[in-house]
Amino acid sequence: METNNELVRIFSQIQDPRSHINKLHDIVDILLIGIVSVLCGAETWLQIKMFAQTKEDFFRKFLVLENGIPSEDTINRVFSAIDSDEFESCFVEWVNSIAVIKKGQVIAIDGKNLRGAKAYGKKSPVHMVSAWASDNNLVLGQVRVNEKSNEITAIPKLLETLVVEGCIITIDAMGTQTDIANKIVENNADYILAVKENQKQLLEDIKDEFHFSKNAMINETIDVGHGRIETRKCTVVSDFQFISDDNKWRDLKSVIRVESLREFKNSDKPQEKAVRYYISNRIDNAEKFQKYIRSHWGIENKLHWTLDVAFSEDNSRKRNKNAAQNFSIILKIALNLLKNEKSDKQGIAGKRLRAGWDEEYRLKVLNIKV
- The DSSP line for 74-97 is HHHHHHHHS-HHHHHHHHHHHHHH
Cβ burial 158-176 (10 Å sphere, 16+ → b, else e): bbebbebeebbbbbbbbbb
Q: From CA 360, how far away is CA 273, in angstroms rounded? A: 49
Q: pLDDT value at position 267?
A: 77
Return the amino acid letter for 120.
Y
| Residue 1 predicted with pLDDT over 50 | no
DSSP state of 197: G
- Please state, for a pLDDT cut of 70, what percent of the chain lies above it: 94
Architecture of domain 88-305: Alpha-Beta Complex (3.90)
Contact 63, 32 (CB under 8 A): yes
pTM for the complete prediction? 0.90
Phi and psi at residue 25, to the nearest 5°: -125, 135
Residues contacting residue 41 through CB under 8 Å, at least 6 positions apart: 47, 51, 352, 353, 355, 356
Per-residue pLDDT of 214-269, as tens digits, reads 899 999 999 988 778 999 999 999 999 999 888 999 999 999 999 999 998 877 78
173 CA to centre of own chain: 17
Strand residues in the chain grouped as ranges (E) = 106-114, 126-133, 138-144, 168-171, 190-195, 217-225, 228-237, 254-264, 272-280
Around 120, how many Cα atoms within 13 Å sit in the side-chain half-sphere?
A: 0
Per-residue pLDDT of 71-100, as tens digits, reads 999 999 999 999 999 999 999 999 999 888
158 CA to centre of own chain: 11
Per-residue pLDDT of 299-352, as tens digits, reads 998 999 999 988 988 776 676 788 888 999 999 999 999 999 999 999 999 999
Sorted by where each begins, the domain ranges of the chain are 5-83+322-366, 88-305
CB atoms within 10 A of CB 117: 23
Q: pLDDT value at position 2?
A: 45
